[in-house]
Amino acid sequence: MERSLTMEIVRVTEAAALSAARWMGKGQKNEADGAATEAMRKVLGTIPMNGKVVIGEGEMDEAPMLYIGEELGTGSGPDVDIAVDPVEGTSIVANGSWNALAVIAIADRGHLLHAPDMYMKKIAVGPEAVGKIDINASVTDNLKAVAKAKNKDIEEVVATILDRPRHKEIIDEIRQAGARIKLIEAGDVAAAINTAFDSTGVDILFGTGGAPEGVISAVALKCLGGEMQGILMPEDDEQRERCKKMGIEDINKVFYMDDFCGGDDAIFAGTGVTDGELLKGVQFKGGKAKTQTMVMRAKSGTVRFIEGEHRLDLKPNLVIE
């Protein structure tokens, strides 16, 4: 991939975040997602690449834009796979709460996992605990391993997990082990990324969430030197059949970092829609808007935090120049 794509995709997530943020706190998550998707697609069409969506808003007959298989870009430039989530945390935007992001990940063609839209059991950590976790080990054993790797007492370890009834046993075990918990409403991409930054206070992510979000999280952690492991959790025969079509005969197969994102290069960008531990959300004032974006590349290990100020009267269609 060309280095210039790193900055090009910042425009993509900025546009999506600016559009979604208009709907913050209005209780209309579908409208927020639709606005972000339309803005993201417009900007993707201006980027010099031959892109193909492998993780998007659904299949072609389900999603009018950013559907799986859609080709984007100007048609010149590198051949890349694209994984997008125009609003990672639509309910967060609707409620005006924390850690909604507009995110995109790209990699060389054929290097991103084409994850089906189903649940995935996940575990994720930052760089200090790489190689120390095991998704098939107990929650307690993983907490102990992370505590040792980060030179902490287990009481100092913070696990993050989606606040769902299905996670009751995991939550109970975390508490019994003596660790602390940060329950989240939604947005496990942001939660996975947070494990790689001491400033967030998060050490490990557990739980079951969307498989497509797992791929995007893994790309971000690849850029940050972290680690994610995942196991698909099909709920019925139709979903099990989709796994087989992907070539996954063993439903208990563990996906490791190279399964999520192969090769030595990938790029991730995320712009805050609402405030979070790492990024502030979009702020509107006087015909201008401010954004904060994180963009990073695996090959160079570079992580950038970019603050943008946008004159909205010059960007009526939110095509960010």
Q: Is 105 left (phi over 0), alpha (psi -120 to 50) or beta?
A: beta
- The pLDDT of residue 245 is 83
Residue 45 CA neighbour count, 13 Å, CB half: 11
| C-alpha torsion angle, residues 243, 79, 86, 166 (rounded to 10) | 20
The pLDDT value given to residue 247: 80
* Measured distance CA(253)–CA(20) in Å, rounded: 36
- Give the pLDDT score at 316: 55
- pLDDT, residue 118, reads 92
In this prediction, residue 313 carries a pLDDT of: 82
Report residue 302 as tokens: 């570079």
Q: Is 44 left (phi over 0), alpha (psi -120 to 50) or beta?
A: alpha
Determine the pLDDT at residue 317.
58
- Cα–Cα nearest to 177, from 145, 130, 129, 131: 145
Residues of the chain with pLDDT under 70: 1, 59-64, 315-321
b (16+ CB within 10 A) / e for 98-112: bbbbbbbbbbbbebb
Say what the pLDDT of residue 319 is: 54
pLDDT of residue 116: 84
Distance (Å, rounded) from C-alpha 179 to C-alpha 144? Answer: 9
